[in-house]
Structure 1
């Protein structure tokens, strides 16, 4: 049964029929379509288009359909219909007869499909909130256990200044908080019902869209029907947020891949999330992290895809918009799955604290501290920077840390250096001095952990 067949004398070519169909994608919206159809039947009852008996029969039949698809999710895919809306209407008519044909009064697939998609997106955003929160919890637990685990921080993948593993965890918590903020902001714009806008210009039937929106669980109703049926800003926005979120997970993955390498040996990944080599028995590969890193490309790709699809479309609805769902479903599913996998990875890593400390000690990460020491002794920073660079070269030549150079050697580079310099060059001293808000000092890290713990449910 086609919803538009009366105008046509010939049947569709089978190739076009298959090409035009979206059922293999939008079947995922069946619960939302049934839920929205029940709400619409109540709106038709309030408008005296349906009698109480008719509405009750329709609602009962739709609930039966819902139970059927919950029992067999692939039930819809056994059909050769055009889309999920056609399937629901046909099955409804099969159950209640001609009464079912009244349901579409005043409603278009244009406002129907965007309503269904918005309802699906609302549910998915709530799932994403939970997954992000769980990953935050994993980062928080590790940070609490590793406040004193000193490791090198990097710029340009070169050891730069000492940090702690807890400080590294807190950086990713900040990223996840921004992801949550973006989702909350998007949810506010998403939570507006387009149902009742018809094809593009509204409906001529007496539909109370405010009550309808409330029945659907939306905060309010849209204000312009022409915009409502053609609006896919929420798809772009969620695709953008997912892309940013996946970039965060990709950077996290890259960090852990590097930390897990034998060259770093800062962490050991669990056997649960790694695999081996088919030819090299000694290998233990970080496959889960590499897959997260690669899947980010597919999510980012959909963002570009939907932007290009929508950029040249005139108002209002165009069939091009059928291409919004496949990529959106995949992007949000992928992001959620990668969040779950990242949590599993974090919950099962072992941190090699002694190796982290050794790497920080051998990285000349205290060179900035030596330059600052010379500034306190009266030198201009540029001169102090140059002298420190020369001292680092000497330490590299002798293969010792800066703090192991003899005072007499240090004085050959600058006579202002005294025995008190060694107190400045310890890793603990360096960390302690970074006590500005957001800094790496033990005090600031503990303060940050306390705040994250206190505000955990805020995000």
Structure 2
């Protein structure tokens, strides 16, 4: 390997070994940043020529050469050399080979330290917006399923035990609330990503009269970073993205865990569409919920990516250290994994078949109307703790007699409290239990439309943010590519 095929060879008498160069190479990973690297370089060249740091002629020649490289990146014909340590070196060597001295002036007033992290931030903006777009699609699926099943009764669980009856509409709106918070976290973190480090140079800024605000605006960033040392070393934004992604993956895992159980013969609440299930190589009767199981399983890798970056960052002094080269694998893998899981979960849930009769039958077991009987006694004047004890005795009696609360006669019920009257039978049916829960955020079909309306409003706001930020980036990049 030619020892001169590195950007730093002048300092060394002898070149690094092939093993060293292979060990330190990041090309297999950062090749994904090629387009962002060229766009960042075009913006840097425009700024350098606008400031008179390089000539207008060199600035135009650099931009022309970079745009030709960009076309090759887009059509997959860029001649990348594995012997070069990263995509940034490849692009600079190709440019310099083609336009000679003009290309060699591009790296004026910048370092790979600020160059690379600028590329990463540009990628991260797109990754966040892509993730938000997929999550909005998932929200729409959850809203649709909730609306279509607004009065379908299903057992609600605590401690994986029957607790109180709820509706499918209410249950899936609970999952919607989780996904809504995930989107809010991604949106909130976006402003901390949308900061331009270019011009921080190696760590201390530069002696050249650069215009960092201009470079930042050319790339569609909100503003340049305020401290050059922080600019080249900050990877908080990656850690935050990985946290947001891992928590979102945990939420997907939770819903998938339920769907796996609900699709079992023991529950039989749902059936997966054939398109999102698989069979067994040996048992002909099997229909396995593999999409849900794999989503659940891949959550471990999402959490691992977060631990990876936090462990890499935990002992680093300011400013740049080569450890930070390892930030990209976790970032790329988490983004790709999460967006595919969101897409598949949304499609899987949109096509679920609900066994309404089975869910209602299951909800009728486990004395899920016990709290309603206790509340009834409270309304009649009994303190809640006393009512709790009385109803507990009634439940124990039902267990011994193999009966349900709603099957007891008035005489049997009155043996536990003389406050119980004929009107008790108006509150014990499951439908009554559900319909009476009209408190804000409750499960009553009369209240859920408020949640649905609120959810649609949230989706509209999220879409407005997504469209607005995408337009800013697209306009900035279109201007650079012209």
Please confirm whether the aligned pair reaches a TM-score higher than 0.5, indicating the same fold: yes
How many angstroms apart in 2 are the aligned matches of 1:215 and 1:281?
60
- Counterpart in 2 of 1:295? 298
Separation in 1 of the partners of 2:78 and 2:283?
42
The aligned residue for residue 446 of structure 2 is 443
Matched, 1:263 2:266: yes
What corresponds to 2:466 in structure 1? none
Unaligned stretches of 5+ in structure 2?
Answer: 463-482
1:329 counterpart = 2:337? no
| Cross-structure match for 1:10 | 14
1:69 matched to 2:69: no
1:390 Cα deviation after fit: 2.2
The answer on 1:416 being equivalent to 2:419 is yes
Q: Distance in 2 between matches of 1:187 and 1:114?
A: 15
Tell me if 1:36 matches 2:40: yes
Query: Does residue 1:242 correspond to 2:245, yes or no?
Result: yes
Give the deviation of 1:381 after TM superposition. Answer: 2.1
Equivalent runs, 1:381-392 vs 2, <5 Å = 381-392=384-395
TM-score with structure 1 setting the length: 0.97
Question: Which SS does the other structure have where 1:151 is aligned?
Answer: strand
Q: TM-score, normalised by structure 2?
A: 0.92
**1:369 Cα offset (Å):** 0.7
Higher relative contact order (CA closer than 8 Å, sequence separation 6+) = 2
Cα RMSD for the two superposed structures? 1.4
Mapped to 2, the partners of 1:124 and 1:73 lie a distance apart of 24
Is residue 319 of structure 1 aligned with residue 306 of structure 2?
Answer: no
Bigger Cα displacement from structure 2, 396-405 vs 353-362? 396-405
2:54 matches 1:50: yes
Q: Is the partner of 1:437 in helix, strand or coil?
A: coil
After superposition, what is the alpha-carbon deviation per residue over 1:253-307, rounded to whole angstroms, capped at 9, x for unaligned? 1111111111111111111111111111111111111111111111111111211
Contact 1:69 1:75 in 2 (8 A): no
How far the C-alpha of 1:394 sits from its partner, in A, is: 2.7
Deviation at 1:75, TM superposition (A): 5.3
1:158 shift after superposition: 0.7
Q: Distance in 2 between matches of 1:103 and 1:26?
A: 20
Of the three residues 370, 387, 395, the one matched with 1:367 is 370
How many residues are aligned here?
A: 458
CA distance in 2 between partners of 1:144 and 1:379 (Å): 38
Q: Mean alpha-carbon deviation: is it higher for 440-449 or for 48-57?
A: 48-57
Partner residue in 2 for 1:26: 30
What corresponds to 1:233 in structure 2?
Answer: 236
332 and 56 in structure 1: CA distance in 2 versus 1, 3 angstrom threshold: same
SS at match of 2:166: strand
Say which of 184, 189, 193 aligns to 2:187: 184
In 2, Cα distance between equivalents of 1:129 and 1:377: 50
Shift, 1:106, TM fit? 1.1
Query: Bigger shift: 378-387 or 194-203?
Result: 378-387
* Corresponding position of 2:467: none
Deviations 1:25-56 (A, max 9, x none): 11110010000000011011012233222222
> Which deviates more from structure 2 when the two are superposed, residues 52-61 or residues 197-206?
52-61
Per-residue CA deviation, residues 400-430 of structure 1 (Å, 9 max, x unaligned), is 3311122222222223322211111122221
Name the residue aligned to 1:114.
Answer: 117
Q: Could you tell me how far apart the structure 2 residues matched to 1:251 and 1:106 are? A: 49
- 2:477 is matched with none
Q: 1:74 deviation in Å?
A: 8.3
SS at match of 1:152: strand
Deviations 1:154-213 (A, max 9, x none): 101111101100101111111111111111111011111000000000011111000110
